Structure 1
Amino acid sequence: MARADQFEIRARIVIEQPVPGVLHSLQEDDAPLDPKTSKAGEALAFDFPLRVERIEGGAKFFGKQVRREGPERRFVYIRIGTAAGDCASPWTRRMKIDIHDIEPALLDKAAKGGVLVGQINGTAKDGSPACATIRPVVWRVV
């Protein structure tokens, strides 16, 4: 339930160049949500709502997909391989996508009806699925 000082925006994580055949899913609580597999490296997109509360110098984020670390850091997990529900996968990984440092102007624009989109690369330098904290994340509103 959103408080009066919070507003909701639509958010999307787009994984460019995911490793073909590897299951990815958004994390909700401790379970996979909306599992998807790229057949030939096409992008995967995960949509979810974000609740935002404006604070001095930025924003705080809330929602079923939002995780926290310390008083300020907020992020979203993408589960990969067995973590996403594929018991036969050779990988058990998660991508950590920071959201706490999104520009306030983008949040304001998304609040007016746009979708906040974060684009990331899904393949690590060694050709396996990207994991851990993913940088850079390119944020825009569409």
Structure 2
Amino acid sequence: MKHQIPVRIIVLRPLAGVAMLVQRGKDELLPPSKKSADRLIFDFELTVDMSETRPNFLGKYAQGPKDARFVYVNSGTYADQHSTWGRRAKISLMNITGDQIQTVVSKAGMILQTEFEGVGRDGGPTCASVKRIEWKLVKQ
């Protein structure tokens, strides 16, 4: 059975002056739904197929092979900005559980949310596979 589930990614303390956008499909970009100097908030929906033993994330925001799906948060040139930076952060979807999905589907006003630091160890925008991604159920 397929479901549409609401998802929120929060970028904490993004690098000032560097655009960050979520990649949709191969070349579309989603701007933040809310932004401030200390955070960017991206709200969107993922399609998830629950007919198998583990959730299969589908749709334009889900990137990568079936057993390693993720969402790209692009920065700099990958976010359609003339910048010295050009990076993509991979936000894994693979530790979202079936129980979390069932809760989001069955309880109105719930959303799956994760967050990560916007600046990497080298002082540039966070890039590559972001470690320690934890998805939580929160009220919208």
TM-score (structure 1 length as normaliser): 0.86
Among candidates 81, 87, 91, match of residue 85 of structure 2: 91
* AA aligned opposite 2:127: C
* Matching of residues 21-40 of structure 1 within 5 Å: 21-36=17-32, 40=37
Q: Is the 8 A contact 1:120 1:138 kept in 2?
A: no
User: Displacement of 1:32 after TM fit?
Assistant: 4.2
* AA aligned opposite 1:128: G
Deviation digits for residues 19-54 of structure 1 (CA, Å, limit 9, x no counterpart): 1111000101222423359663x1101111111112
Q: Is the 8 A contact 2:7 2:112 kept in 1?
A: yes
Deviation digits for residues 53-72 of structure 1 (CA, Å, limit 9, x no counterpart): 1221x210111111122x41
Q: Give the structure 2 partner of residue 76 of structure 1.
A: 71
Q: Is the 8 A contact 2:35 2:41 kept in 1?
A: no
Q: Is the 8 A contact 1:13 1:117 kept in 2?
A: yes
* Matching of residues 20-59 of structure 1 within 5 Å: 20-36=16-32, 40=37, 42-54=38-50, 55-56=52-53, 58-59=54-55
Among candidates 122, 125, 132, match of residue 126 of structure 1: 122
Aligned in 2, Cα 1:62/1:137: closer, same or farther, shift over 3 Å?
same
CA distance in 2, matches of 1:95, 1:60: 21
CA distance in 2, matches of 1:45, 1:105: 24
TM-score (structure 2 length as normaliser): 0.87
* AA aligned opposite 1:94: R
Structure 2 residue runs of 5 or longer lacking an equivalent are none
CA distance in 2, matches of 1:63, 1:76: 11
SS in 2 for 1:30: coil
Query: RMSD of the alignment, in Å?
Result: 1.8
* AA aligned opposite 2:125: P
Q: How many residues align?
A: 134
CA distance in 1, matches of 2:71, 2:48: 14
More strand by share: 1
Q: Is the 8 A contact 1:23 1:35 kept in 2?
A: no
